[in-house]
Amino acid sequence: MGKGSFGGIKIRHLYKIFGPGAETHLEAVKNGLSKSELNDRFGHVLGLKDINIEMPSGSIQVIMGLSGSGKSTLIRHINRLIDPTDGEVLVDGADVVKMNAKELREFRRHQTAMVFQKFALLPHRNVIDNTLYGLDVQGIPRSKSVDIGMRWLERVGLKGFEKKYPNQLSGGMQQRVGLARALSNDAPVLLMDEAYSALDPLIRMDMQTVLLDIQKEIKKTIVFITHDLDEALRLGDQIAILRDGEVIQQGSSQDIVLRPANDYIANFVKEVNRSRVIHVEAVMTPVATGQPFNGASITVGSTIEDAIKVMTANEAKELFVLGQSGEAIGKVDLQTLASAVVSTD
């Protein structure tokens, strides 16, 4: 399958009820039976309720929520480690829910790769052998696979460590091995379940940078689970926020910060450094198409923080915002930028 042909992931009306009589309570849940009522009256747990998310090919989709929100349950439906009670999980147009055992095995081997929070490295295998584990399972000869594994180890910064064993590596280095192993499979979908949550903050930021840099090159469809809003805003092309098994808001980082759907999300975002999240085009004043400009400028997609740095360096009172082809599409001044950084709470 060519990378350009992958059709992304579509989750439609997905429900998951945990308990022996899950199917019998589905209609009641669809008709409004709450999570607490389902638990109190029937002893069943509502894991996911009517999840609808479209994840475009080649983008990073972050699923965010606190513990118990359903985010890890959701990601495990994508490679069907968990069977849904109802709904569809379409990966590149094929419904994973309908796959038989053989189809599912092939799908997991070739279409998806997973990076876990606890690294999940095999202690008796060294770094290169851990990296090649998925390719070994697929039966790819070592004469071919070692070159692939070494390339990815170098790409994640582990060249020279290929003969070390997991217990000789720091947590951050172990997670780099986990990432190299997933990338070596060359699956179009990369599933990352709280992949960086066990790492120290500085190492975590470093791993986020590694992922963003590699993603520019590989353009996988990445589903990234986190409970950390700063991580979600930094990584996500799209973000879906879960609470009690339901999506309560989804959109870009701009949407979430500038237009929180309710008080729950407003509380989440009020401590965010907005200057690093909000892009200049979200607050600019549009200018007429083709209007000539001179003076300091910044490109579309730049953050407010970037804009303030450029203005300061150029001692400019305003900045023109340039589109992809270099034409002026808007302008911003310092007062506009400052107002956007201060939350309106």
With respect to residue 332, please indicate whether it lies within any of the assigned structural domains: yes
d(CA 70, CA 76): 10
Residue 74, in any domain of the structure: yes
105, 192: one domain? yes
Q: Which of 278, 286, 287 is nearest to 305 (CA)?
A: 278
Containing domain of residue 332, as a range? 276-341
Residues 248 and 263 in one domain: yes
Residue 344 has pLDDT above 60, yes or no: no
Grouping H, G, I as helix, E, B as strand and the rest as coil, residue 57 is coil
Decide which of 229, 248, 272 is a domain's last residue. 272
> Is residue 160 in some structural domain?
no
pTM: 0.88
Phi-psi region of 67 (alpha: psi -120 to 50; beta: other; left: phi over 0): beta
- Specify the pLDDT at position 4: 47
Asked if residue 259 and residue 200 are part of one domain, the reply reads yes
Q: Is the pLDDT of residue 277 over 80?
A: yes
Tell me the per-residue pLDDT of 211-246, one tens digit each, with 9 for 90 and over. 999 999 999 999 999 999 889 999 999 999 999 999
Shared domain for 223 and 333, answered yes or no, is: no
Q: Is residue 48 part of a domain?
A: no
103 with 245, same domain? yes
Answer yes or no: are the C-beta atoms of 320 and 297 closer than 8 Å: yes
Number of structural domains in the chain: 2
Alpha carbon distance 127, 178 (integer Å): 9
- Give the end of a domain, one of 272, 287, 307: 272
- Whether residues 201 and 226 fall in one domain: yes
Q: Give me the residues paired with residue 225 across strands.
A: 63, 193
Of 228, 245, 272, the one marking the end of a domain is 272
Q: What confidence score (pLDDT) does residue 345 get? A: 54
